[in-house]
Chain A
Amino acid sequence: MTVVVRGLDVALGGRPVLKGVSLDVPAGSWTAVIGPNGAGKSTLLRAVLGLVSGDGEVTVAGADLGALRPRQRARLVAYAPQSPNLPVGMTVFDYTLLGRSPYIPHLGRESTRDRAVAAEVLERLDLTELAGRTLDHLSGGEQQRVVLARALAQQTPVLLLDEPTTALDMGHQQQVMELIDQLRLSDDLTVVTTIHDLTLAGQYADDLVLLSDGRVAAAGSPEEVLTQATVEEHFDARVRVFPGPGGRPVLALERP
């Protein structure tokens, strides 16, 4: 489903963090939000979810997210935070089952279907073996997949992932990104991720949105956004940009 943000202003503690942010995420596409630290990337995702209040319009498939009830919204948009709270002692299966919350009556309990969905998601993410394991006994890569599993159990058409590859080594970064791409293609998901690794963002995303100081500084295909001039201007970094596989840009740091 198409995600559209128009003129989003968000202030945190009186300080404006997002200023007139607009973006269009076509249905079934992957958009990566990039930008230097403190540019407002995470805040953008949280504002789309309604976790922080702001002025502006956020619609998913034409429906105004702000006007929806929390449970309805949670059936449209799933979110995986940058540093999720992983309750100590909770099993992978129970954690995944939390993703079914928007479908369970307030004081009710999970149905057989909810449990089946959770089991199926774990199967798809190759986590079945770990289903009975507690969250504190997982490696970083496993934890990242489990958080993804909870989001997928929500069965939403839109996934918002905040830095899904932080703290992962190169191999696991690739694994997680490939997995997200696979799921996107097979389930026709619309994916928005924030990501700080520009090359990684350029390899996987259809579109990049560069946030700088709370504004959209550039938006478009990876080739359009990831130019030497843009990166130097907004990240204050000396880089060289090479055309990589499929024409997607690859960045290398250069010592000044």
Chain B
Amino acid sequence: MTASARVSQARLRAVPLAVALVLLAGTLLGGVLVGAAGLPAGGVLRALADRVPFVHVDSGLGAVGENVLFQLRVPRALMAALVGGMLALAGAGYQGVFRNPLADPYLLGAAAGAGVGATLTIVLMPGDPGYVVPVAAFAGAICGVLLAYVLGSAAGRGGGAATLVLAGVAVSSFLAAVQTFLQQVKAEELQRIYSWILGGVGSADWRQLALVAPYALVSTAVLLAHGRLLDVLSVGDEEAASLGLSAARVRLVVLVAASLATACAVAVSGLIGFVGIVVPHAVRRLAGGSYRIVLPLSLLGGAAFLELADLVARTVIAPAELPLGVVTAFVGGPFFVAVLRASRRQVDT
């Protein structure tokens, strides 16, 4: 081949992938090792090794320690990773579909819808509603996006991106008004509602994980499969059509998958901002703008980022905890500025 063969196409390369995997593994380990119970690191590592098939070590943690580790810390660490990964992946998907790096997973009313669902449950169900809150938030998020999509498609022909965004804004503010109304009616529940809105994975357990994991898996598979098509879509609907691609169809599939991912995250963690915009953008700056790179690295990077944020949330003012949404904004802002400054790569979409 000639000199042209030397130029290869944009694809996920080994080094950035390895870096992202190491970051995720490192933060996951941090999430498991650090905690209020003060378990010895060696014991935790031995207890984890003991769970590996055919390996038997005595952790020396005792029954209580083992319980703290496997019923509290491990599910919480996994949940933080799942939520972060889903939000960043969904953000990248939304950005590709709307061809706008500032699109975030809550653009089409997922957040406001989930807010209504969760608030309704808290207001209507006396006592501890338990798993009804995540289920209602999940349903609310899906309904919000569905409403925006139906309205947007009815207003503009063929699901044009701009009308969809406008419909999303309208649906979001309407649902936010509903949510505010509900919480004013039951002002005594304000604190519980707010603590849900501010977000966190402190209540994570295996059952919650099992609840959202299947949806998370499906949307991850769908989104990762659409990297090339999102790259084609970056030339706009009309040119994509001239290349034989139906932009409206790709947009619908990606939006469904990304909204499902968002709903998973929102259902179990409340409203955590910033991850969906910052992580994909950092990935673009550092590793390249093709969606074949942005999607997988956002998944891993988002998981690592939120894992770290959760670690900060539960250690800074221990034994009390900061709301996770506050930490992501607090950590994410300066981090974002640093990434913008450090990278000379000019990538916008």
Closest chain B residue to A127, Cβ basis: B4
Determine which of B7, B243, B290 lies in contact with A90 in the assembled complex, contact meaning CB atoms within 8 Å: B290
A128 CB-CB contact with B under 8 Å: yes
Chain A residues whose CB sits within 8 angstroms of the CB of B2 once the complex forms: 119, 123, 128
Residues of A within 8 Å of B238, CB to CB, are 46, 51, 81
CB within 8 Å of B: which A44-73 residues: 46, 49-51, 69-73
Our pick among A74, A109, A115 for the contact of B243 (Cβ within 8 Å) is A74
Q: How far is the CB of B246 from chain A (nearest CB, A)?
A: 6
Q: Mark A210-243, 1 if CB is under 8 A from B, else 0.
A: 0000000000000000000000000000000000
CB-based contact B243/A131 at 8 Å: no
Q: Please tell me if the beta carbons of A128 and B4 are within 8 angstroms of each other in the complex.
A: yes
Main secondary structure of the interface of A (DSSP, over half): mixed
The stretch of A100-108, A182-190, A247-255 in contact with B is: A100-108
Of A101, A122, A132, A136, the contact of B232 (CB 8 Å cutoff) = A101
Q: State whether A131 and B289 are in contact (beta carbons under 8 Å apart), knowing that A81-B239, A87-B234, A101-B243 are contacts in the complex.
A: no
Partner of A51, one of B8, B226, B242, B349: B242
Complex interface: chain B residues within 8 A of A132 (CB): 7
Asked if residues A87 and B289 are in contact (CB atoms below 8 Å), the reply is yes
How far apart are A137's CB and chain B's nearest CB, in angstroms? 9
Q: Which of B5, B246, B289 contacts A89 (CB 8 A)?
A: B289
- Are A88 and B242 in touch, CB under 8 angstroms? no
Query: Taking CB as reference atom, which chain A residue is nearest B3?
Result: A128
Contacts of A88 in B (CB 8 A): 289, 346-349
The interface residues of chain B lying within 8 Å CB-to-CB of A154 are: 243
CB–CB A70/B246 < 8 A: yes
* A91 surroundings in chain B (CB, below 8 A): 7, 9-10
CB-defined contacts of A108 to chain B, threshold 8 Å: 228
Name the residue in A46, A50, A70, A77 with the highest tally of chain B Cβ atoms < 10 Å from its Cβ: A70
Known: A70-B246, A89-B345, A110-B9. A84 touches B3 (CB 8 A): no
Given contacts A104-B228, A107-B226, is CB(A94)–CB(B243) below 8 Å? no
Smallest Cβ-Cβ distance to B227: which chain A residue: A109
* Interchain nearest-CB distance for A129 vs B (Å): 8
Q: Which residues of B contact A90 (CB under 8 A)?
A: 10, 231, 234, 289-290
Smallest CB separation, B11 vs chain A (Å): 9
Number of B residues, CB within 8 Å of A: 35
- The answer, yes or no, to whether B236 is at the interface (CB within 8 Å) is yes
A30 at the interface (CB under 8 A from B): no
Given the interface pairs A97-B9, A98-B232, the reply to whether A49 lies near B242 with Cβ below 8 Å is yes
- Among B1, B3, B245, B345, point to the contact of A70 (Cβ < 8 A): B245
User: B314-349 vs A: 1/0 string, CB under 8 Å?
Assistant: 000000000000000000000000000000011111
Is there an interface contact between B288 and A89, defined as CB atoms closer than 8 Å? yes
- Once bound together, how far apart are the Cα atoms of A85 and B242, in whole Å? 13
Residue of A nearest to B237 (CB): A51
Residues from chain A with Cβ under 8 Å of B22 in the complex: none
Given contact pairs A51-B238, A104-B228, A89 touches B348 in the complex (Cβ within 8 A): yes
Q: Does A99 touch B at the CB level, under 8 Å?
A: yes
Residue of A nearest to B228 (CB): A109
A133 and B226 alpha carbons, distance in the complex (Å): 25
Asked whether any CB of chain A lies closer than 8 Å to the CB of B177, the reply is no
Q: Does B112 contact A (CB under 8 A)?
A: no
Known: A70-B246, A131-B4. A85 touches B236 (CB 8 A): yes
Q: How far is the CB of A177 from chain B (nearest CB, A)?
A: 22
On chain A, the residues within 8 Å of B241 by CB distance are 49-51, 70
Q: Are B4 and A119 in contact (CB under 8 A)?
A: yes
Indicate if the CB atoms of A85 and B244 lie closer than 8 Å.
Answer: no
Q: Is B57 an interface residue (CB 8 A)?
A: no
Closest to B7 in A: A131
CB distance from B211 to the nearest CB of A (A): 28
Is B185 on the interface with A (CB-CB < 8 A)? no
Please, how many angstroms separate the alpha-carbon atoms of A51 and B290 in the complex? 26
Contact between B234 and A75, CB atoms less than 8 A apart? no
| A195 contacts partner chain B, Cβ-Cβ < 8 Å | no
Expressed in whole angstroms, the minimum distance between the Cβ of A78 and any Cβ of chain B is 7
B207-255 residues with Cβ-Cβ distance < 8 A to A are: 225-226, 228-229, 231-232, 234-236, 238-239, 241-246
Are the CB atoms of B228 and A94 closer together than 8 Å? no
A107–B290 CB distance below 8 A: no
**Judging by beta carbons under 8 Å apart, are B231 and A89 in contact?**
no
In the complex, which residues of chain A have a beta carbon less than 8 angstroms from the beta carbon of B5? 119
Rounded to whole angstroms, the CA-CA distance of A109 and B225 in the bound complex is 10
Q: For the A-B complex with A84-B235, A107-B225 known, give 19 more contacts whose Cβ atoms are closer than 8 Å.
A: A51-B238, A51-B241, A51-B242, A70-B241, A87-B349, A88-B346, A88-B348, A88-B349, A93-B7, A98-B235, A98-B243, A101-B232, A101-B244, A102-B243, A107-B226, A115-B9, A123-B4, A131-B4, A154-B243
Contacts from A to B (Cβ < 8 Å):
46, 49-51, 69-75, 77-79, 81, 84-91, 93-94, 97-99, 101-102, 104, 106-110, 115-116, 119-120, 122-123, 128, 131-132, 134, 136, 154
* Pairs A-B, 6 closest by C-beta atoms: A74-B244, A71-B244, A119-B4, A89-B347, A89-B289, A131-B7
9 A-B interface contacts by CB (under 8 A): A51-B242, A84-B239, A89-B284, A89-B289, A89-B348, A93-B8, A94-B290, A97-B9, A115-B9
